């Protein structure tokens, strides 16, 4: 083991020791960040309701014993309001997600203002449900983790402000989490951690509505960016293609459903970008638009039976193009870096064809993909990321701010 990894391990062990045995509330408050900050009155009122309405269930028992670290993870980066409680970065004892799909469906995409307003309505009930489902009280929580970027500014502000208010009122450490890393650490919430299946490093594919990136994960907190999209994200391209073809929203599931059992008669273009691990999906999106226009598929959604068949064939061809590029770039990254396995995260990785093709192309190397409820935006992945990424290096201050364009590296 390298000196760097040894030092990191010692720091992590020392931090874990802080969470052993039963601790009284005064000691727990001493761990909280002392940096000042102002809460807005509506947030204080909501938190008062939240605190007073939750039942108190003590799980620690009596006497000195090993105490797990419970982190409340909060996620509001886009259009899901989510909260979860995770023990020691691996066991999700609750995971609540309030989706806004029905609100945005009439628009064929996410409306930022609508998303942020809905977060304001849902955030407190979602946190309350997550705590109740876990069978614990807020006083049993050891830390608050929250996505602070990347994402929609208005949406991020809701989660971050509530998380800061909770941390201050409960005297708990606050951990700001990178949303992209959260998608990777979702793989740790499923039970056996990835390192039980293969040793570091891993090539990580993060593919969602807003991001498509390839990263090399050499260890906890050690990431190298290998490639990223130069234009549209894979999920964004799927949403736009589904809208063009009149298949509905969200685009990923709609394209997958339309493509079921369909063998495309022709191929859509692939942007290989030779010599690079970057992605580009704007070209295939434009190709779908041009074909749909030429075939009269843009003139309303009341398609004839023949047009519906054509739309399904185009959907299947489009899905093949997206999956083909994602798989080939990921495997190229594995060969280039000598990685021992693949981790996939993000809503696009719930696609069944992508999972199947990646497993085949990996040729025996472990391909680790979270379950569908952990592939979408969720609080469990944020809590897990905080445990492995943030806890060993210490909490953030109450001046934590959002970074909508946050990246890795």
Q: Are residues 207 and 130 in the same domain?
A: no
Q: What is the CATH number of the domain that holds 294?
A: 3.30.420.40
Buried b / exposed e over 121-136, threshold 16 CB at 10 Å, is ebbbbbbbebbbebeb
Number of domains in the chain: 2
**Could you write out the DSSP letters of every residue in 205-221?**
EEESSS-EEEEEEEETT
Residue 254 inside a domain? The answer is yes
Q: Do 349 and 235 meet the contact criterion of CB atoms below 8 Å apart?
A: no
Q: Do 133 and 94 meet the contact criterion of CB atoms below 8 Å apart?
A: yes
Q: Are residues 108 and 167 in the same domain?
A: yes
Of the CA atoms within 13 Å of residue 407, those in its CB half-sphere come to 11
pLDDT score at 299: 61
- Going by pLDDT thresholds of 50, 70 and 90, the confidence category of residue 30 is very low
Residue 400 inside a domain? The answer is no
Domain that holds residue 229: 200-369
Q: Do 186 and 178 meet the contact criterion of CB atoms below 8 Å apart?
A: no
pLDDT score at 192: 84
> Facing residues of 204 across strands?
215, 343
Q: Are residues 52 and 91 in the same domain?
A: yes
Q: Are residues 54 and 168 in the same domain?
A: yes
Higher model confidence: residue 301 or residue 143?
143
Q: Are residues 127 and 245 in the same domain?
A: no
Mean pLDDT of 330-349: 98
pLDDT score at 288: 96
Instruction: Determine phi and psi for 234, rounding to 5 degrees.
Output: -60, -45
Query: Chain-wide mean pLDDT for the chain?
Result: 86
Element (H, E) at 93: strand 91-99
Residue 399 inside a domain? The answer is no
Q: Are residues 288 and 248 in the same domain?
A: yes
Higher model confidence: residue 41 or residue 304?
304
Q: Could you read off the pLDDT of 218-228 as tens digits, one per residue?
A: 999 999 999 99
pLDDT score at 19: 38
Cα gap 29→320, rounded to integer Å: 53
- Going by pLDDT thresholds of 50, 70 and 90, the confidence category of residue 148 is very high
Buried b / exposed e over 104-117, threshold 16 CB at 10 Å, is beeebebbeeebbb
Least confident of 8-22, 189-203, 375-389, 390-404: 8-22
Q: Are residues 360 and 387 in the same domain?
A: no
pLDDT score at 296: 86
- Going by pLDDT thresholds of 50, 70 and 90, the confidence category of residue 303 is confident
Q: Are residues 381 and 365 in the same domain?
A: no
Mean pLDDT of 291-310: 83
Q: Are residues 297 and 339 in the same domain?
A: yes
- Going by pLDDT thresholds of 50, 70 and 90, the confidence category of residue 297 is confident
pLDDT score at 99: 95
Mean pLDDT of 328-340: 98
pLDDT score at 301: 61
Whether 258 shows a pLDDT value over 80: the answer reads yes
Mean pLDDT of 380-403: 97
Cα gap 44→168, rounded to integer Å: 11
Q: Do 255 and 241 meet the contact criterion of CB atoms below 8 Å apart?
A: yes
Q: Are residues 25 and 173 in the same domain?
A: yes
Higher model confidence: residue 70 or residue 20?
70
pLDDT score at 304: 84
Q: Are residues 36 and 98 in the same domain?
A: yes
């Amino acid at each position: 083991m390298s000196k760097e990894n040894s030092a990191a391990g010692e720091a992590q062990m020392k931090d874990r020791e802080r969470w052993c045995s039963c601790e009284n509330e005064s000691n727990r408050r001493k761990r909280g960040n002392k940096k000042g900050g102002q809460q807005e009155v509506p947030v204080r009122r909501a938190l008062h309701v939240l605190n007073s309405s939750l039942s108190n269930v003590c799980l620690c028992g009596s006497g000195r014993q090993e105490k797990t670290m419970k982190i409340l993870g909060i996620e509001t980066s886009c259009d899901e309001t989510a909260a979860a409680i995770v023990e020691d970065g691996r066991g999700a004892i609750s995971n609540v997600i309030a989706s806004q799909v029905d609100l945005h469906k009439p628009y064929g995409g996410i409306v930022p203002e609508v998303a942020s307003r809905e977060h304001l309505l849902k955030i407190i009930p979602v946190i309350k449900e997550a705590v109740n489902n876990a069978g614990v009280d807020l006083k049993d929580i050891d830390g608050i983790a929250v996505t602070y970027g990347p994402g929609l500014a208005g949406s991020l502000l809701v989660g971050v402000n509530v998380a800061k208010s909770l941390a201050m009122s409960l005297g708990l450490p606050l951990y700001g989490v990178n949303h992209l890393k959260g998608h990777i650490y979702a793989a740790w919430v499923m039970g056996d951690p990835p390192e039980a299946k293969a040793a570091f490093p891993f090539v990580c594919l993060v593919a969602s509505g807003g991001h498509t990136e390839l990263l090399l994960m050499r260890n906890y907190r050690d990431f190298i960016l290998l490639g990223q999209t130069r234009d549209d994200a894979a999920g964004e391209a799927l949403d736009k293609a589904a809208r063009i073809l009149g298949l509905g929203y969200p685009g990923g599931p709609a394209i997958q459903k339309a493509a079921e059992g369909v063998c495309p008669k022709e191929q859509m273009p692939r942007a290989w970008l030779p010599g690079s691990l970057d992605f580009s999906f704007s070209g295939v999106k434009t190709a779908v638009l041009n074909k749909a226009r030429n075939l009269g598929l843009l003139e309303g959604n009341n398609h004839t039976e023949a047009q519906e068949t054509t739309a399904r064939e185009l959907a299947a061809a489009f899905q093949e193009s997206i999956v083909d590029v994602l798989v080939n770039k990921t495997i190229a990254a594995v060969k280039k870096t000598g990685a021992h396995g693949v981790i996939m995260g993000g809503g696009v990785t719930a696609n069944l064809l992508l999972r199947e093709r990646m497993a085949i192309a990996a040729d025996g190397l472990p391909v680790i993909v979270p379950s569908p409820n952990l592939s979408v935006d969720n609080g469990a992945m944020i809590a897990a990321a905080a445990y492995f990424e943030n806890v060993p290096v210490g909490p953030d201050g109450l001046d934590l701010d959002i970074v909508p364009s946050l990246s890795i590296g």
